[in-house]
Amino acid sequence: MKIYDFQLGQLGTNTYLIVPENSDSAILVDCPYEAVETIPHFLKQIDRKLEAILLTHGHWDHIWDTAELAKITGAKVYASKFGTHLIEDADLQREVLFSGDGLQSAHIDIKINDGDEFEIAGVKIKCLEAFGHSPDSIVYYIESENIAFVGDVLFAGSIGRTDLWEGNYAQLEKSIKTKLYTLPNDTRVLNGHGPETSIGVEKKSNCFVRG
């Protein structure tokens, strides 16, 4: 499996393209502004089709191009069942998260519950609810590769903001301790902004939430 990392959009959001071996498909984790310009061109270069768009949460800097990219590629959109109000309602984004004009509402094809497991292009993925930064945050855990795509839940030496709409520090702390810090220490943490880290490193050194 190969994972390509693109920094896209207004806030340089990490956008991950998962390219499994022995498959002609690919999986995208988060879909910010500029994804429509970047991802189809890259897929053409590597001769893959986009099968799924996995959204870690509904904040506009992670979902901006979702509606258009899904339409262009036919990819199915996966997101938390609690993401409907943010992802499918661009007006709410403008009201509570100040997204500005241009954001389109996107349709969630597969609405995720905590603990759901599914297979896409031969890749087995487990979904973990990790609320606190956003009321719909989902971690996508690929156990076979020791990788967790965590969105804005946990960063290298930091954690997600909780001063945004429906943010909750106590809930985020609990999510990190019970959903992330219970994963193996060598699990790679691929987050929404900044460099990757590992569960073991953050448990020892993260000054906001220690393991």
Q: What is the DSSP string of 83-149?
A: GHHHHT-HHHHHHHS---TTPPP---SEEE-TT-EEEETTEEEEEEE--SSSTT-EEEEEGGGTEEE
Amino acid present at 9: G
Residue 40: inside a domain:
yes
Q: Is residue 210 part of a domain?
A: no
What is the domain-level CATH number for residue 158? 3.60.15.10
Distance CA 211, CA 202 (A): 8
CA angle 162, 134, 95 (to 5 degrees): 90
pLDDT the model gives residue 99: 85
Asked, for residue 174, whether it belongs to a domain, the answer is yes
Report CA torsion sign: 132, 88, 50, 12. Answer: negative
**Residue 78 within any structural domain of the chain:** yes
Q: Name the 3-class secondary structure at 36.
A: helix
User: Is residue 103 a part of any domain in this protein?
Assistant: yes
- Whether residue 211 is contained in a domain is answered as no
User: What is d(CA 75, CA 6) in angstroms, rounded to the nearest whole number?
Assistant: 18
Q: Count up the domains in the chain and report the number.
A: 1
For each successive 10 residues of the chain (211 residues), what is the average pLDDT?
A: 98 99 97 98 98 98 98 98 94 90 95 98 98 98 99 99 96 98 99 99 97 88
CA atoms of 9 and 174, how far apart (whole Å) = 30
Residue 161 is assigned to a structural domain of this protein:
yes
Beta bridge partners of residue 191, listed in sequence order: 151
* pLDDT confidence of residue 100: 83
Could you tell me the residue range of the domain that residue 35 belongs to?
2-205
Distances (CA, A) of 158 to 124, 125, 193, 202, 207: 28, 25, 11, 8, 7
Q: What is the pLDDT of residue 101?
A: 87
